[in-house]
Amino acid sequence: PSNLRCWNGEWAVSSLPECLPAPCVLPQIMHAMYQGGYRAGLTIAHGSSVMIQCESGMGNMAAVQMDCALGSLTPETLNCGYIAASRKSRDDDSSSIIVLDGANVTSSEDENDGRDCGPPGKIHGSLVYKNGEQIDDSEEGFHSGTEITFDCIASITGEQTTWKIICEDGLWIGRSMNCEDDDPAYHRIPSANGSCVFRNNEPHVVSFYNDLEIREDIVEFPPMTTIISRCVDIGKYAMIGTSVRTCVREEWTGQKPSCFGLNQENDYAMEKPPTILIRHQNGPIAQSNDGKLIVYPGTTVHLECLWMRRFGNPKWNVSHDYRKYPEGWSSDEGRDPQLEYRISIMHAVKDDSGTFTCVTPARHTHSVEVFVKPVHCNEIQVRRGLSASTLETMMGTRVLFSCTNGNALIGTPEISCLPSGNWSAPLPVCESVECGEVPIQANSNGSAPRVAILSREVGGRAAFSCPPGYGLRGPSEAICLPSGEWGAPFPSCVDLSPAEVQCFHP
């Protein structure tokens, strides 16, 4: 506490205040990037350090160490900038159309006293425009204040990169990037009816199409397809990018999403946002496709913010004032009271819906958006011969199916009720399946096993035997599978004459 009160001869506090070394906030530095997963706005503790270096083409590429001491960084900043040789431009209209093999140029008609810039470096696979029109490479100089936007030509990946640089007093200021795909086959005008390729290669990101998770690595989708993405665990990861993207003109709208781990994945570092563990009892919870926490009414939910207690107490902020929620260091058996700062939603009701945010003493935050609603899937219409393990339809319910009449189960043997209120798959059916003839052939000596089919139904058996003078090598029977085929391998008959007698591996 910042104040002490004397009460009846004693100080009315549970503990005395203490002074801790102030942490350092990492500043935003133009054309520079932090290493080790750090970024501008994060906080590092007193006595720690971080490495930073200029972006490619923006100055000396050597990494520099910044040290934190009592709230101050040493050095305080890093000077980075892209320098291009300047050239005087011709005395022509600055708004005339020019070419540069790739980029969008916007120049000001107003006079500028700064020095002109020479043409910036060409980027293969990009386009350059000026005031919305493609330019040519006849221009030798660009007035100070001219802005150039590089647009990578859309590739088969459906990912398009765009960046800008601006001429300031003879220097090109801005981050230079590259266009990934250099295959000329992909350098074409996008089609309005073109499909988009989705690459499912981001770690800790799960994506959904038509309420089903995309599990394939590469999938091609038709135009106007919408994909929804979230982090695999909304309490342990935070997303950067666009969660809902649509295929338009062979490109996915928005920014490709990515998820980064929070303080639990970084040894509970003070400069990382806090991990939130989600626990529940007396009812189901689930993560929606777009990253919300769906809670069934009556369920008790515990949100546990991870923070080392010796560095102070975090706090919970709630987006509404419906009621006061109990919070404090976890005291349950098996939990860690030195690490888990909990807020509890007891017997959740609809009005508990809202955003629950943990704020650490280092002022980093992470939030979980809670929606309380009674999600149910459609009733299960059990067909004749189909047996279901339960007829419950509550969110999170798993139903196992089997056939009661000896028929084969066609479809998935298990479905679950999704947080969207849809079943994860259509109901299976039971159909009569019979196996045909056993596909067995004679071997090189001309003999083949004799087959006696005892039953052609699923689970039925076919017995094998050999004519006199031959021995059976392999299984003595085969089973009819649900696929309608006999289970392999099949046996063969071998000659038992004295010259041919031999022992086979057991």
CA of 494: how far to CAs of 50, 179, 500, in Å? 75, 66, 9
> Residue 457 has what pLDDT?
82
**In contact, 24 and 75? CB cutoff 8 Å:** no
- Domain locations along the chain: 24-74, 103-186, 196-261, 266-372, 386-431, 434-506
Sheet holding 212-213, edge to edge: 212-213, 205-209, 226-231, 244-248, 251-252
| Residue type present at position 308 | M
> How far apart are alpha carbons 5 and 437 in whole angstroms?
94
Q: Is 204's pLDDT higher than 70?
A: yes
Q: CA 85 → CA 89, 103, 116, 163, 483, distances in Å? A: 12, 19, 9, 20, 72
Q: What are phi and psi of 335, to 5 degrees?
A: -100, 165
Report pLDDT for 389. 95
- For the entire predicted model, the pTM comes to 0.56
- The yes-or-no verdict on residue 404 having pLDDT over 70 is yes
- How many contiguous H segments (helices) and E segments (strands) does the chain have? 0, 42
Mean pLDDT of 385-389: 91
pLDDT tens figures, 1-45:
567 777 667 776 555 667 778 888 888 888 888 877 677 877 787
| CATH fold for domain 196-261 | Complement Module; domain 1 (2.10.70)
Report DSSP letters for 407-442, one per residue: PEEES-SEEEB-TTS-BSSPPPEEE--B--------
pLDDT tops 60 at residue 89? no
- Beta strand 429-431 with 408-410: parallel, antiparallel or unpaired? antiparallel
Long-range contact pairs involving 476-480 (C-beta distance under 8 Å, separation at least 24): 478/438, 480/433, 480/434, 480/435, 480/455, 480/456
* Pair 23, 43: CB distance under 8 Å: yes
Average pLDDT, the chain: 81
| Lookup: tokens for 173 | 């200021």
Residue with tokens 């919070």: 327
Tokens of residue 145, six digits: 């204040």
Spatial neighbors of 282 by CB under 8 A, at least 6 apart, are 298, 299, 300, 347
From CA 76, how far away is CA 68, in angstroms rounded?
A: 10
CA 353 to centroid of chain Cα atoms: 25
425-467, pLDDT tens digit by residue?
999 988 888 888 998 887 777 788 899 999 888 888 999 998 8
Question: Tokens 């393990």 belong to which residue?
Answer: 389
Query: Quick one: what percent of the chain has pLDDT higher than 90?
Result: 42
Between 352 and 136, the higher pLDDT residue:
352
CB 433 within 8 Å of CB 458: yes
Query: What CATH number does the domain located at 103-186 have?
Result: 2.10.70
Which of the listed CATH numbers 2.60.120.590, 2.40.50.100, 3.40.640.10, 2.10.70.10 matches domain 434-506? 2.10.70.10
CATH topology of domain 386-431: Complement Module; domain 1 (2.10.70)
Matching CATH number, 266-372, of 3.40.50.2300, 3.20.20.105, 3.40.50.150, 2.60.40.10: 2.60.40.10
Q: Is CATH 3.40.50 the classification given to domain 24-74?
A: no
> pLDDT tens for residues 230-266?
999 999 999 999 999 999 988 999 989 999 999 999 8
pLDDT in tens, 466-497: 888 888 888 999 998 878 889 988 998 888 87
Find residue 287's DSSP bridge partners.
Answer: 293
State how far the Cα of 392 lies from the Cα of 358, in Å rounded to an integer. Answer: 35
Q: Which one has a higher pLDDT value, 503 or 487?
A: 487
CB of 469 closer than 8 Å to CB of 445: no
Is the separation of the CB atoms in 181 and 156 below 8 Å? yes
pLDDT in tens, 180-189: 544 444 445 5
d(CA 385, CA 75): 76
Domains 103-186 and 434-506 share a fold: yes
d(CA 427, CA 391): 12
Q: Tokens 């003493």 appear where?
A: 361
Q: What is the pLDDT of residues 44-70, one digit of tens each?
A: 878 888 888 887 666 676 788 888 888
Beta-sheet pairing, 126-130 with 103-106: parallel
Here the tokens at position 384 are 């004749």
Q: Is the pLDDT of residue 112 over 50?
A: no
Q: For 411, left (φ over 0), alpha (ψ -120 to 50), or beta?
A: left
Peptide bond into 374 cis (omega under 30): no
pLDDT at 188: 53
Angle (CA) 302-306-309 rounded to 5° is 115
